[in-house]
Amino acid sequence: MLKPRYRKVRLLNLRTGRAGAVVKAKLPRGQYIDDIDFDRSKRLVVRSKVATGVAVYQVSRKTGAVRLLRKIKRPDVAMWVLPGDESYEPWTLRK
């Protein structure tokens, strides 16, 4: 069974209950959104699996433009927890 792959994000304002417009994250070819988070300054951050590990991008809420923040090299283990996370996420498994 194929896992669904996404590039589009729709944000919801929990204070007002309104959903924003759908924004397509302009990730490099072959990369898709695996995890969504916000950084300390409340900017939208997405994580994408790459051949050597995980790439972390900052995404513009209006245009969908991405800026590479960092690439994390995958350690040589079967499972790993990403820096800054408390728990294991299934998409980080080695195939």
Instruction: Note the pTM of the prediction, 2 decimals.
Output: 0.75
- 57 sits in which H/E element: strand 53-59
pLDDT in tens, 79-94: 667 766 666 666 666 6
Distances (CA, A) of 33 to 2, 40, 57, 75, 94: 15, 20, 10, 21, 17
Which position has the token pair 């051949």?
Answer: 51
pLDDT in tens, 20-33: 888 888 988 888 88
pLDDT in tens, 11-59: 887 788 888 888 888 988 888 888 888 888 888 888 888 888 889 899 9
